Amino acid sequence: MKVVVLSGGVGGARFLLGVREHFAGTDADITAIVNVGDDMWLTGVRIAPDLDSIMYALAGVNDTERGWGRAGETERVSAELRAYGVGWPWFTLGDLDLGTHLTRTHYLREGLGLAEATRRITARWPLGVRLLPSTDQEVETHVHTADGVMHFQEWWTRHRAALPALEFEYRGVVDARPAPGVVEAIGAADVILVAPSNPVVSIGPILAIPGIRAALTAAAAPVVGVSPIIAGAVVRGMADACLTAIGVDTSADAVALHYGSRTNGGLLDAWLVDETDSAGIPTLSAAGIRAAAVPLWMTDPATTAAMVSAALELGAQPGS
């Protein structure tokens, strides 16, 4: 069984823990295609928050209390950077986290692509999931606001997504190509899952890489998405601010319709919503998206695994 998961960071990590749990003890081959839109250069090192969030969570070294970064983290280097007056005062690089950034930067400086750097970095732990960046090129999400254009991280972390976004720009995307292995993984997949990640700034930048959407459209495998919206509210993060900016309602149905049905050139064969959102299923059906409702809260890997089972079952049903 070959499973491909399109994924953002923290929410995607939680979903992937469930995917891994579901397939535990099998020989399933799980590949996560991960958003790089949040990546950036900061004080000379290359940061890749989504790749790292997933790696730390799968390795079991993430800070589950704080919800991001490494457990037992310290910030001694960051304090020095602040004393020197460089970096972003509102963006802290943990010391353990910096070990990852420096390793990545080292490999990139050696001329390796991000995918190969990620392969070497993730080799440290038995993750049970192969992590593939969507692209080796630097495609960074920038947010247009009335106060100017800024990197996604500035908008998200510094402004807490409170500055109304006018537009999301995936800077550099026209010259980007799928990272080595991405198109192959999609083509060889038995099922493709879309994690309940932010549709605009996590999944959107993956789909925007030229060649990835076409590979998904052409894939033999069913594409099954899981709603990041429950009862009209985001499960975590500030996806509502992003959806509003692109004119999409913060609702499970609206996100599915935004992704679109594969029968009409869109992304999805099927869409899993929370039980509270079951009323929208007929609408989605009519739009060519097979839908089902189950509990979507990713409380722990076992609960999430049940949700993954439901997604896989929905994907395996014959098309409408």
- Closest approach of a second copy to the CB of residue 61, in Å: 10
* Interaction of residue 99 with a second copy, rule CB under 8 A: yes
Stretch that binds a second copy, among 5-13, 20-28, 120-128, 245-253 (CB under 8 A): 120-128
156 binds a second copy (CB under 8 A): no
Residue 111 interacts with a second copy (CB under 8 A): yes or no: no
What part of residues 17-76 is at the interface with a second copy (CB under 8 A)?
A: 41, 43-45, 74, 76
Q: Is residue 103 close enough to count as binding a second copy by CB under 8 A?
A: yes
Position 285 contacts a second copy (CB under 8 A):
no
Closest distance between a second copy and the C-beta of residue 100, in Å? 7
Going by C-alpha positions, the residue among 143, 200, 146, 150 that lies closest to residue 169 is: 143
Q: Shortest distance, CB of residue 29 to a second copy, whole angstroms? A: 24
Q: How far is the CB of 249 from a second copy (least distance, A)?
A: 42
Closer CB to a second copy, residue 126 or residue 318? 126
Neighbours of 71 (CB within 10 A): 13
Neighbours of 110 (CB within 10 A): 9
Size of the site for a second copy (CB under 8 A): 31
Of 31, 53, 62, 100, which lies in the binding site for a second copy, with binding defined by CB under 8 A?
Answer: 100
What residues are paired with 70 via a beta bridge?
Answer: 62
List the one residue from 87, 222, 225, 266 that touches a second copy (CB under 8 A): 87
Residues that bind a second copy (CB under 8 A): 41, 43-45, 74, 76-81, 83-87, 95-96, 98-100, 102-103, 105-109, 120-121, 124
